[in-house]
Structure 1
Amino acid sequence: MTDRPAATRLPFTLPRLGLGTAPLGGLFEDVGEEEAAATLKAAAEGGMSYVDTAPRYGHGLAERRLGRLLPASADAAPVISTKTGWLLRPRPDGSPGEVITDWTERGIRESLESSLTRLGRSSVDILYLHDPDDYPDDIRRTAYPAVRRLRDEGLVKAIGFGMNHSAPLASYVAEFEVDVVLIAGRLSLLDHEALPELLPLCARTGTSVVVGGVFNTGLLADPTPGAMFNYRPASAASLERARRCRELCAEYEVPLAAAAIQFPLLHSAVDSVVLGCRSAAEVTENVAAARFPIPDELWKRLSRAGFVPERVLEERVG
């Protein structure tokens, strides 16, 4: 990976590699407290100095773990982002209950205040409006003005949107002053949805881009029968494409994971890639993949095969 300065609205430098904490909240399978602690320790040691979380990750579990396990010192703490727009409603016995949408200013503030309590912090670096695809009127009327005020009050340093679909995300970037966006699954070796509109728009507006879901829910990590692709079992066609991508990488003795992680960072609009990890071993493997040298000729081969659009190679920095 090549570090580079970026002309963005962010008042801080966004690390090139981040840790996604949905797995630490129990996505797909439970993770024990000791393993969560080991994962965070490995991430810090490996230079993953950005941590992304959300109230919905394990009904607050991921945030609570970060509050217990991350360093409290501002000098040692990573960049932290969390999300808002959804409220947790536990059952009377304290066990996880409903997750409800609330885009009102009161709901946005309650969500952030609850997150700060779980995280054990007085502020966070980034606050994303989380999956607001179906609520454009609420975003315009109450939610976006609310996060603007939270930023003005210093409770968050930057605001943005975290979504799985690039078209509505692009519409929000075009309409509002957005510091940063997190787009998941739509800029990968198998999915280029974010490329035509969202990334050029962010480049023009100075909006930082964080990319998640580079493995498309696992298919690009391990393209074997039963692998998931965008939260569903991969089709035969998707599995075949992922295997072909792996074969091309193998010709150059490059792990498929290395190409998957480094691909979004070829584009000058992308500032960071966030990787969901559930163990210290996964962190170590992904950090090594992020640093694995990839020859230019492989990128060109992947481009000719349709996995890397030519315009991305043209955007390559470093």
Structure 2
Amino acid sequence: MISGLGFGGAPIANLYAEVSDEDARAAVDAAWDAGVRYFDTAPHYGLGLSERRLGAALRDRPRSEFAVSTKVGRVLEPYDGGGLDDAGFLVPATHRRVWDFSADGIRRSLEGSLERLGVDHVDIAYLHDPDNHWDQAVSEGLPALHSLKEQGIVGAVGVGMNQWQMPERFLREASLDYVMLAGRYTLLEQDSLASFLPLCEERGVSVVAVAVFNSGLLARPEVPADATYNYAAAPAEVIDRARRIASVCGRHGVVLPQAALQFPFGHPAVKAIAVGARSAGEITENAALLAEKVPAELWADLKAEGLLAPEVPTP
């Protein structure tokens, strides 16, 4: 259903910094112009702002020409306490997020998403971060998504998480079409390669790799001392490893984010990546970096220097 570069919708929901309606629209338009046809969002992103902005930007596009995914598990309920959202999005706290992986919660969440997006179906619906909600997610949430799939309201069913262990459990005990894997299969870390990714390949489950920059550490040609990793200050040894990778990239005329964008496609289970952007320039630059081929010698040198294990598949 999807392949290549996808657009991540969190930044256009004022994640850590305000983005105007005009800049958000320009980012989506630039993604479209760059050939992007997969757009990911969630109610969690800006209390629905990402879905509203994405829906407005795609409204005049032929629905059959793009795929959109959203997420379930956090139901937005009206809130009149005032103030700003406390989840990193610079938006008024007009709603509060309530964890709910019940069948009714899934349906209510998706109904709200469809209204904000202005569509009658989504191509993929992911259970969003069910880390502490396994029982309800697997016994109620997932069957509800499969029912919605049978009704044509959802095209495919998935789970989106910042870990690979629970998605692997979903694969062994239930049925999924997609896994959105955040930060756990990147140029910097490949623990998911041991059992999870081979299982995805065996079961025919498609992986969308996101957070391929590990929350900023791999996003620039030069790795700064204050780089972030997993949304916190990066440890010194992680910064050193990233800098060594960047040095090898430089010897081949490649910049670090270019290699980070292309690396996940080395594994056959990875069908797409999704990268967030808050401006037209960001998404245009990432599309260009993805399009320019990385020489095979770069991957070989990373293995020779112990920065990738010998068995890691590369593009």
**Structure-2-length-normalised TM-score:** 0.92
The verdict on how the C-alpha distance between 1:308 and 1:48 changes in structure 2, with shifts beyond 3 A counting, is farther
- How far has the Cα of 1:97 moved from its partner? 3.2
* Residue type at the aligned position of 2:120: S
Candidates 179, 182, 192, aligned match of 2:180: 182
Aligned to 2:35: 47
More displaced stretch, 297-306 vs 123-132: 297-306
Native 8 Å contact 2:6 2:274 kept in 1: yes
- How far has the Cα of 1:76 moved from its partner? 5.9
- How far has the Cα of 1:296 moved from its partner? 0.9
- How far has the Cα of 1:69 moved from its partner? 1.1
> 2-side partners of 1:88 and 1:15: how far apart?
30
Candidates 8, 12, 17, aligned match of 2:5: 17
- How far has the Cα of 1:248 moved from its partner? 0.5
Aligned to 2:96: 98
Aligned to 1:61: 49
Native 8 Å contact 2:59 2:118 kept in 1: no
* Residue type at the aligned position of 1:129: L
> 2-side partners of 1:255 and 1:72: how far apart?
36
Q: Secondary structure at the residue paired with 2:218?
A: coil
Native 8 Å contact 2:209 2:272 kept in 1: yes
Aligned to 1:241: 241
Q: Secondary structure at the residue paired with 2:155?
A: strand
> 2-side partners of 1:75 and 1:54: how far apart?
19
- How far has the Cα of 1:300 moved from its partner? 0.6
The number of residues matched between the two structures is: 303
**Structure-1-length-normalised TM-score:** 0.92
Runs of 4+ in structure 1 over 6 Å off = none
Native 8 Å contact 2:69 2:125 kept in 1: yes
> Are positions 1:269 and 2:257 aligned together?
no
Give identity over the alignment, percent.
42
Structure 2 unaligned blocks of 5 or more: 83-91
Q: Secondary structure at the residue paired with 1:87?
A: strand
1:90-140 Cα offsets, whole Å, 9 max, x none, are: 323784332110111111000000000000011000000000111111122
The verdict on how the C-alpha distance between 1:231 and 1:207 changes in structure 2, with shifts beyond 3 A counting, is same
- How far has the Cα of 1:310 moved from its partner? 2.5
> Are positions 1:279 and 2:261 aligned together?
no
> 1-side partners of 2:169 and 2:114: how far apart?
29
> 2-side partners of 1:123 and 1:266: how far apart?
31
1:239-265 Cα offsets, whole Å, 9 max, x none, are: 111111111100011011110000000
- How far has the Cα of 1:158 moved from its partner? 0.2
* Residue type at the aligned position of 1:267: H
Q: Secondary structure at the residue paired with 1:242?
A: helix
Q: Secondary structure at the residue paired with 2:17?
A: coil
Q: Secondary structure at the residue paired with 1:312?
A: coil
> 2-side partners of 1:106 and 1:46: how far apart?
38
Native 8 Å contact 1:70 1:77 kept in 2: no
Q: Secondary structure at the residue paired with 2:181?
A: strand
1:14-49 Cα offsets, whole Å, 9 max, x none, are: 121101011011112111111101100110011121
Aligned to 1:81: 69
Aligned to 2:17: 29
Structure 1 unaligned blocks of 5 or more: 1-12
> 1-side partners of 2:257 and 2:306: how far apart?
17
- Mapping for residues 151-166 of structure 1, pairs under 5 Å: 151-166=149-164
Native 8 Å contact 1:127 1:160 kept in 2: yes
Q: Secondary structure at the residue paired with 2:180?
A: strand
Aligned to 1:141: 139
- How far has the Cα of 1:75 moved from its partner? 4.6
Native 8 Å contact 2:138 2:170 kept in 1: no
> 1-side partners of 2:69 and 2:199: how far apart?
22
Aligned to 1:3: none
Aligned to 2:167: 169
Q: Secondary structure at the residue paired with 1:17?
A: strand
Q: Secondary structure at the residue paired with 1:139?
A: helix
The verdict on how the C-alpha distance between 1:73 and 1:297 changes in structure 2, with shifts beyond 3 A counting, is closer
> 2-side partners of 1:298 and 1:180: how far apart?
30
Aligned to 1:8: none
More displaced stretch, 60-69 vs 89-98: 89-98
> 1-side partners of 2:43 and 2:2: how far apart?
22
Q: Secondary structure at the residue paired with 2:271?
A: strand
> 2-side partners of 1:160 and 1:54: how far apart?
13
